[in-house]
Structure 1
Amino acid sequence: MKFKSILTTLVIIAIANTLHAQNPIITDVFTADPAPLVYKNTVYLYTGHDGATTEDTNYKMPDWRVYSSKDMVNWKDHGSPLSPSTFSWATGDAYAAQCVERGGKFYWFVSTFHKADNNSKGGAAIGVAVSDSPTGPFKDAIGKALITNEMTTDNKHSWDDIDPSVLIDDDGQAYLFWGHASCKWIKLKKNMIETEGEINTFKPKNYIEGPWVYKRKNLYYLVYASAGTKPEMIEYCTADKITGPWTYQGIIQENVPNSFTTHPGIVDFKGKSYFMYHNGALPTGGSYRRSICIDYMYYNLDGTIQKIIQTKEGVKAAK
């Protein structure tokens, strides 16, 4: 009898671990655009939040969310500490964003839309929020947008300035990358809330949006959603310098289930590399009701990235 009880307990634990590890990793709300950050032996995951109904035919993204994990399997929900309403100048939805730490403060770079007013005709814009904690509360760091653009000639909102990604290089210089249709970058001052120098624009092969920039060993990586096909795939370039030139390396993630977009978030944690993305695999999910997944990421000896294998099982708990 005692043996059966122990066996039953082990089976329950095994089932529970499997359920926690399966993709998608968050099942109670729809989440998109993953942006991981490692801080003090914990992974903080910053996400978008899809609030569209099954009948909606466009995005409804009311806020950004934060989750944390010490093993990449069990995730704690920290709620929604930031939304476009945090920014007095903003309107519209909470699009892709990334949070980085510097000097004990947390800078959350976000893409949303700018109100049409005396300072702007509107359009996509990038703001920055700041907090003393990775889980907030966050506040507008500068009281205005960091990056703005204007309305297009056909009087529709321009989507040029979306999807920020930030790298703080080994010498302390910070860079902001972003952009739809073309990729842009600019230096950030040490305070992380002011830009320095001119905006640089370039066009990686098949680039459409969602850049994720990072450095591994002596190589810089620019990973992005590609316009080579619909639905999107993930492709990447590498460079010896953050300023380029960038060498195209190919496709690393094929189309995802039930979503015409995908979005990369990459992190090293406890000796392993992880690739985060979103798909529409949950029941009632879809292109406007997406969910974040995690799978392992592997490199070749020359630093190139192996193809990502998308799984339903996800990853095992990091030891």
Structure 2
Amino acid sequence: MSSTALNTKAAPSYCQYQWMFCTAFSTLVLHALATLAQPRGTTFQSIGNPILADGSYYSADPAPLVVNNTLYILAGRDEAPPDQNNFIMNEWQMFVSASPNPTGGQWTHYPGIARPNSVFAWALQGTAYAAQIVQGRNGKFYLYAPVTEANSRNSDRFAIGVAVADSPLGPYKDAHPSGPILSQSVPAPGNNIQNIDPTVFVDDDGKAYVYYGTFGQLRGYELASDMATTVGSVTTVSSLTGFFEAPWIMKRGSTYYMLYAANNAGPNSPCTPTSSHACIAYGTASSPRGPWTFRGVILGIVSSTTSHSGAVEVNGQWYLVYHTADAQGGGHFRRSVAFDELRWDDTQSPPHINRITQTKRAQPNPVPTRNIAPKASASSVNTTPIQYWVKSLNDNRVPTNPLPPDYWCSYDGNNSPKMSTLVYTWDSAVTLNGTRMTFFADQPAGSNIGVPPPASWYVEYLNAVGTWEKVANTIAYPVAVTNSPREVPFKQISTKSIRAVLTASGSGNQFGGVGVKEWEALAPTAQ
């Protein structure tokens, strides 16, 4: 019997060999192209919060995702120059760690995993704001992203699109190429809100839900199985105290949780001291569509004016991911991602989220300085308008282009006072022999509107008998607006308290405000 007869299949023909080769070659080419499409990552060792703190890349609006016990954190990239107050964000990036720890650990950074106008043909460049990636019931990964619609008649052109990929790192392809799934005009009848900050949740039964909104407006829909079509009518949420923006929906056990950025401000607010800050609060519900019940604040204000969070469980430990301005060269528009442990109080029903303790990487020893104002408690005799912050007086920061919470100010429109008094109080007596004050102004000297330089100011101290006495200054008090003001030396004093009395520019019943970036209290020698 021949060897050919022993074979039950005939040998492949030349054409079959050629087809097999081409198929294999095509598969290799497609695999290679997919590999090339994957962004390249850089591995680094973090030593604490923020995760990446060297100022090489800033990161904001984090959205965590867990895949195969690995933590992925999607974030926008802040690219604003230090002196520009604007959200310049052109791309999304990813941080990945298989063993995340707030005190430090190994991470891989993947910059530029997606850009708005590259993923969505109908979108403009930029505004790569708060987005989220979720894994669908089909195993694919869906990117929900707020972008600016290129051709839109809506009064606000922000819109939310959805893209899909086989990996959290992409590459992402528009899953709804005809346009956004949420905007002021879709789905009908539309809305009049700004459509940003989407958060998406896939429930245990496979149903998916999206919430979104800002400026106090929170909306929600169920999503169809294609993850790109809304189902039914809109849910409007108005029961979450202080809701401003940045919703995050999740589930633990049978309870649904909605985290969000709140800014119900005021001197006795559990949330924010000024109207420009935000805290993270949360509510609960027994259904993903609500109704939602406010439960409290879990993260106080951070070093950036905005706050944006997400929470996930990794290997049995829950974490809250958020952003701050704590990286090198950081600021309100140069933010960086941080994360800390989130703990539960299961003695409550429904289980409560305990307040988060913010942690930071170890800092170098402070440089000795004569300025001991940061050791004092700062206060204002006059009521400080809600947008300004008295604690900015002694925070050791003199920003070039500050936002209102970066400085104290008396400006209150037509009710701006003629006289203002600022007070520093120490726990025990201190020795001082000089002072310096850095002013903020947006109007020329002598103006009676806006915030001009003050007309004059002077400093008093609380003497041994408990009365206020002027310090014996040796030069006049300067009122020039500069980030490097002259020191006002005075005869050495020992006191537990000093105060600055400021007279605003203006006359009659109309005065401008007085703005102070920093007020220094100077000891004879550096400490």
User: Do the aligned residues in 2 keep the contact of 1:115 with 1:121 (CA within 8 Å)?
Assistant: no
Residue 213 of structure 1 corresponds to 249
Equivalent residue for 2:180? 145
1:275 corresponds to which letter in structure 2?
L
Distance 2:227 2:151 in 1: 26
Q: 1:233 Cα deviation (Å)?
A: 0.4
Q: Which residue of 2 aligns with 1:293?
A: 338
Cα distance per residue 1:145-178 (max 9 Å; x no partner): 110116xxxxxxx762110001111111100011
Out of 163, 178, 185, the position equivalent to 2:212 is 178
SS of 1:74 mapped into structure 2: strand
Structure-1 residue corresponding to 2:278? 232
- Compute the RMSD of aligned alpha carbons: 1.7
Which of 42, 49, 58 pairs up with 1:23? 49
- In the alignment, the residues of structure 1 paired with residue 310 and residue 155 of structure 2 have an alpha-carbon distance, to the nearest angstrom, of 32
Residues 75 and 92 of structure 2 are in contact (CA less than 8 Å); yes or no, is this contact kept in structure 1? yes
Which residue of structure 2 lines up, in the alignment, with residue 187 of structure 1? 222
Describe the shift of the 1:295–1:206 C-alpha distance in structure 2 as closer, same or farther (beyond 3 A).
Answer: same
Look up the SS of the partner of 2:158 in the other structure.
strand
Give distance in 1, aligned partners of 2:74 and 2:328. Answer: 23
- In structure 2, how many angstroms separate the alpha carbons of the residues matched to 1:296 and 1:171? 28
* 2:225 partner amino acid: K
The reply to whether residue 99 of structure 1 matches residue 133 of structure 2 is yes
Q: CA deviation at 1:66?
A: 1.5
Question: What is the letter of the counterpart of residue 105 of structure 1?
Answer: K
Match for residue 326 of structure 2 among 263, 266, 281: 281
1:78 offset after TM fit, Å? 2.1
- Three-state SS of the structure 1 residue aligned to 2:46 is helix
Structure 1 position 43 matched with structure 2 position 71: yes
Identity of aligned residues (%): 37
Conserved in 2, the CA contact under 8 Å of 1:114 and 1:122?
no
TM-score by length of 2: 0.53
Distance in 2 (CA, whole Å) between partners of 1:237 and 1:122 is 28
CA contact (8 A) 2:237 2:292 kept: no
Instruction: Return the alpha-carbon distance in structure 2 between the equivalents of residues 219 and 283 of structure 1.
Output: 39
How far is 1:300 from its partner? 0.1
Gaps of 5+ in 1: 1-18, 151-157, 315-319
- Counterpart among 293, 304, 316 of residue 352 in structure 2: 304
**d(CA) in 2 for partners of 1:176 and 1:64?**
20
Out of 84, 96, 121, the position equivalent to 1:88 is 121
SS in structure 2 of the partner of residue 30 of structure 1: coil
Q: Which structure ranks higher in relative contact order (CA pairs < 8 Å, sequence separation ≥ 6)?
A: 1
Q: Residue in 1 aligned with 2:143? A: 108
Q: Give the distance between the partners of 2:134 and 2:330, measured in 1 at CA.
A: 29
Q: Is structure 2 residue 300 aligned with structure 1 residue 254?
A: yes
Measure, in 2, the Cα distance between the counterparts of 1:200 and 1:97: 20
Q: Is the 8 A contact 2:196 2:213 kept in 1?
A: yes
User: Whose radius of gyration is greater, 1 or 2?
Assistant: 2
- Listed one character per residue, the Cα deviations across residues 1-28 of structure 1 (whole Å, up to 9, x for unaligned) are xxxxxxxxxxxxxxxxxx6231000233
CA deviations 1:224-248 (Å, max 9, x no partner) are 0002133100011011111211111
CA drift at 1:79: 2.2
Instruction: Please tell me whether the aligned partners of residues 123 and 159 of structure 1 are also in contact (alpha carbons under 8 angstroms).
Output: no
- Kept in 2: contact 1:44–1:69 (CA 8 A): yes
Structure 2 runs not aligned, ≥5 long: 1-44, 186-191, 266-275, 363-527
Aligned partners of 1:116 and 1:122 also within 8 Å: no
Q: Deviations over 1:105-148 (max 9, x none)?
A: 1000011221234x756521111111011111111111111101
Query: 70, 76, 84: which is aligned to 2:108?
Result: 76
